[in-house]
């Protein structure tokens, strides 16, 4: 009898895990060279992980705040979200109807982290996000593809991309959608690379003050799209809520 119970419990856990990961894509790990990194360690080993296929939508986030009142617009602590948090919501339970299938924005890092944890997930690291984002529809690493990089830069130039509906674009090599050309996205360690006068050139603060000095130490001087993403991240604080900044979740493999 005990064996039957354990078997049923195991099947339940497997089915539950499969259902939870049905909206996620498996990203097979590998060796990755980030745009910025420790001088002695130019390569990073990425382990297998799951990532949400689509960014979190307003509909998803509405369900979350309904179940977690402390993250509602009127109740959130000012320590964890600034005054713009959900500022386009009429009230705690009224996300704009025309936005329900759009990527949720005006959500702080603290709130995004809490959302992912409530799903049994987490925010992706910068390295995981960049590793998944370097894939085109046909290549795991398309960073040397000039046309691919150009398409990303052009997508960043489009106005009001945060008003696009999620999931309509073609998935990349891993099946993940909308990593480019929709919204910027929070990562777990978004502030892990802060460019200062000291960090840009081994303590030479004078060199660090010149225009474009943030490029010092970068592994690929031509990856302008990545420069834009890193510049965006270094401008953030964890309680910021921005119109063009959303998120998606990740999860470790078993």
pLDDT at 205: 37
Closest CA to 123 of 135, 137, 107: 107
Alpha-helical regions (H) of 29-136:
58-67, 109-118, 126-133
The residue ranges of the chain whose pLDDT is under 70 are: 1-21, 35-41, 193-224
Within a domain: residue 17? Answer: no
Within a domain: residue 9? Answer: no
pLDDT at 19: 39
Residue 152: helix, strand or coil by DSSP?
helix
CA–CA distance, 119 with 60 (Å, rounded to integer): 11
Within a domain: residue 110? Answer: yes
Closest CA to 42 of 145, 127, 125: 127
Within a domain: residue 12? Answer: no
pLDDT at 226: 78
pLDDT at 72: 98
At 20-62, the pLDDT tens digits run 467 999 999 998 887 655 454 578 899 999 999 999 999 999 9
Write phi, then psi, for 32 (nearest 5 degrees): -135, 135
Distances (CA, A) of 189 to 6, 73, 161: 39, 25, 24
Within a domain: residue 231? Answer: yes
In the beta sheet, which residues pair with residue 122? 250
pLDDT at 73: 96
Within a domain: residue 5? Answer: no
pLDDT at 220: 46
Distances (CA, A) of 139 to 33, 98, 109, 126, 130: 16, 35, 30, 20, 14
pLDDT at 36: 58
CATH number at residue 88: 3.90.1580.10
Within a domain: residue 50? Answer: yes
Number of domains in the chain: 1
195 Cβ partners below 8 Å, 6+ apart? 213, 214, 230, 234
Within a domain: residue 233? Answer: yes
At 81-102, the pLDDT tens digits run 999 999 999 999 999 999 999 9
In the chain, the DSSP E strands lie at 24-27, 30-32, 44-46, 49-52, 184-185, 245-246, 250-252
Could you list the residue range(s) of the whole structural domain that residue 231 is in? 22-252
CA–CA distance, 174 with 140 (Å, rounded to integer): 8
């Amino acid at each position: 009898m005990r064996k039957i119970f354990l078997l049923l419990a195991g099947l339940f856990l497997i089915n539950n895990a499969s259902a939870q990961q049905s909206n996620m894509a498996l990203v097979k790990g590998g060796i990755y060279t980030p745009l910025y990194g420790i001088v002695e360690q130019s390569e990073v080993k990425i382990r297998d992980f799951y990532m949400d296929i689509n960014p979190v939508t307003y509909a998803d986030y509405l369900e979350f705040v309904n179940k977690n009142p402390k993250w509602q617009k009127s109740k959130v602590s000012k320590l964890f979200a600034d005054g713009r948090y959900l500022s386009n919501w009429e009230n705690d339970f009224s996300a704009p109807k025309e936005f329900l299938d759009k990527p949720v924005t005006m959500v702080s890092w603290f709130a995004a982290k809490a959302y992912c944890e409530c799903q049994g997930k987490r925010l992706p690291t910068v390295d995981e996000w960049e590793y998944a984002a370097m894939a085109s529809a046909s290549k795991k690493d398309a960073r040397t593809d000039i046309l691919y990089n150009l398409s990303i830069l052009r997508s960043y130039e489009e106005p009001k991309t945060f008003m696009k509906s999620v999931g309509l674009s073609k998935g990349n090599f891993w099946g993940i959608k909308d990593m480019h050309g929709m919204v910027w996205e929070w990562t777990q360690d978004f502030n892990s690379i802060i460019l200062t006068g000291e960090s840009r050139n081994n303590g030479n603060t004078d060199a660090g003050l010149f225009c474009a000095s943030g490029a010092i130490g970068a592994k690929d001087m031509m990856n302008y799209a990545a420069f834009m993403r890193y510049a965006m991240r270094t401008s953030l604080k964890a309680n910021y809520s921005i119109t063009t900044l959303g998120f998606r979740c990740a999860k470790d493999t078993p």
